[in-house]
Chain A
Amino acid sequence: KQEVTQIPAALSVPEGENLVLNCSFTDSAIYNLQWFRQDPGKGLTSLLLIQSSQREQTSGRLNASLDKSSGRSTLYIAASQPGDSATYLCAVNREGNTPLVFGKGTRLSVIA
């Protein structure tokens, strides 16, 4: 059974700092990995999708990497801003239209 772990559970950083969020998964036979952002009381917003054949994806100040063999992904946020404060979740699925398995997220606070 796939398990996804995100460490740390919460993180507080000063504005402008570069930071890394971690995601690990137990079964390396994944099809893709997605990073999401969730603001309090809201739904999830997809940030980046990395297919298993890819090593990384970039969008603006965000960069996500994937090391399938070691069961790890990182989300790098450059020059953090208070507006980046949210919970970040990663999720993986297997090939064959299988559902996403989510980690419990990292709650990020960027202090001005």
Chain B
Amino acid sequence: KAGVTQTPRYLIKTRGQQVTLSCSPISGHRSVSWYQQTPGQGLQFLFEYFSETQRNKGNFPGRFSGRQFSNSRSEMNVSTLELGDSALYLCASSLQASGNTIYFGEGSWLTVV
């Protein structure tokens, strides 16, 4: 079956712009999580959605937001981009609970110039 799909794979934005990243989870998976990965900080949790509700939120400013649709697809948005937002943004899905294996997509590489 198809894995976690993230689009776009690569994008370049200018400071002050906004960006929307998309994630399609594995079919049947209801939990979608987003992580930011940078060389200095490693993988940091952004937020998790389950059945269209934000279930957990990491320690990121309000410029970072997300949502989940009824088909479990998820989007994250970053407004007023800063240079420090340049990172690999990873989406992951799992069946429902924390005891399940989590599956990651290939990520979206965001460069802010």
Contact = CB atoms under 8 A, between A and B. Distances in A.
Interface in A19-60: 31-32, 34, 36, 41-46, 49, 51
B42 A104 contact: yes
Contacts of B101: 34, 46, 49
Interface residues of B, number: 26
A100 B45 contact: yes
Contacts, number: 57
Given A32-B98, A51-B99, A96-B98, A102 B107 contact: no
A57 to B, nearest CB: 11
A99 B50 contact: no
A43 B106 contact: yes
B14 interface: no
Given A44-B90, A97-B50, A102 B43 contact: yes
Contact of B56 (A31, A97, A105): A97
A97 B42 contact: no
B90 A97 contact: no
Interface of A: 31-32, 34, 36, 41-46, 49, 51, 89, 91, 93-105
24 contacts: A34-B102, A36-B104, A42-B106, A42-B107, A43-B6, A43-B90, A43-B105, A43-B106, A43-B107, A44-B90, A44-B92, A46-B101, A46-B104, A49-B101, A51-B99, A93-B98, A95-B98, A97-B56, A99-B33, A99-B45, A99-B48, A99-B56, A99-B58, A102-B42
